[in-house]
Amino acid sequence: MLVKICGIKTLAAAQTAVSSGADFIGFIFAESSRKVEPEIVGDFGANLAGHVKKVGVFANQTEQEVIKSAEIAGLDYIQLHGNESASFARRMPLPVIKAFAIHSEKDLENLHEYPADYLLVDLPKSASGKGLTLDWDMIRKADLPLEKVILAGGLTPENVGKAINAVSPFAVDVASGVETNGLKDAVKMKAFINEAKNTAGKEE
């Protein structure tokens, strides 16, 4: 199981995530308490192991801004977290992760038609940080290409194993579930990654 730790702001947190086994680390370049400047991420450069994939998270920003930030930060993936159109995604110079806020079953119907390398299914913003998760049964029963699905939304070290067994996604993504008082917590990151990596997936 692949793991993406999102909302990394410091080199120390990035290094802890990578040494704990993270496959993707996400940097928020959209408005957020987790926002970080692309120049800071660019400076992490050689201090990060080469195998980890750097993901920049954007929401309703201009094409020029996304492309410039991606270059400065040295990204591997662009995550679009707003209302970006399919043609916007097609013009991106890097592989795209498209995030979808899932309010109901209806939101899952046409996801696979969006031109993205990965589809990240997430809670709506209004529901995040409230101890809620997506309805994993609903996600599993939807007609989604699971080999492209990144499962997010309220995951924690305690529930990620159950989530993986229920959905069998390509990867899992977490931000607040590995934080204490708004900062990335090394113990929680390690626990989350261990639990995800030790869960086989698919349990009926």
Ligand X SMILES: O=C(O)c1ccccc1NCC(=O)[C@H](O)[C@H](O)COP(=O)(O)O
Measured N-to-C along each axis, helices 160-167 and 186-197 cross at an angle, to the nearest 10 degrees, of 30
Name the β-bridge partners of 26: 6, 55
Spatial distance between the Cα atoms of 116 and 86, rounded to a whole number of angstroms? 8
Among 36, 175, 189, 196, binds ligand X (CB under 6 A): 175
String marking each residue 65-84 x if it binds ligand X according to CB under 6 A = ----------------x---
Q: In the complex, what is the shortest distance from the CB of residue 46 to ligand X, in angstroms, rounded to a whole number? A: 26
Q: Which residue, chain included where needed, has tokens 């929401």?
A: 59
Number of residues that bind ligand X (CB under 6 A): 23
- Is 56 an interacting residue with respect to ligand X (CB under 6 A)? no
Q: Is 122 a catalytic residue?
A: yes
Q: Is 6 a catalytic residue?
A: yes
Among 1, 3, 7, 164, binds ligand X (CB under 6 A): 7
Question: Closer to ligand X at the Cβ: 30 or 138?
Answer: 30
Question: Closer to ligand X at the Cβ: 80 or 143?
Answer: 80
- Is 32 an interacting residue with respect to ligand X (CB under 6 A)? yes
The single-letter DSSP state of residue 61 is -
Spatial distance between the Cα atoms of 144 and 40, rounded to a whole number of angstroms? 36
Q: Which residue, chain included where needed, has tokens 């607040």?
A: 176
Stretches 13-21, 87-95, 147-155, 189-197: which one binds ligand X (CB under 6 A)? Answer: 147-155
Name the β-bridge partners of 56: 27, 78
Spatial distance between the Cα atoms of 99 and 84, rounded to a whole number of angstroms? 10
Among 2, 11, 21, 30, binds ligand X (CB under 6 A): 30
Spatial distance between the Cα atoms of 71 and 60, rounded to a whole number of angstroms? 18
Token pair of 202 as six digits: 């698919």
- What does the binding site for ligand X look like in residue numbers (CB under 6 A)? 6-7, 26, 28, 30, 32, 34, 57, 59, 81, 99, 122-123, 128, 152-155, 173-177
Active site members: 6, 122
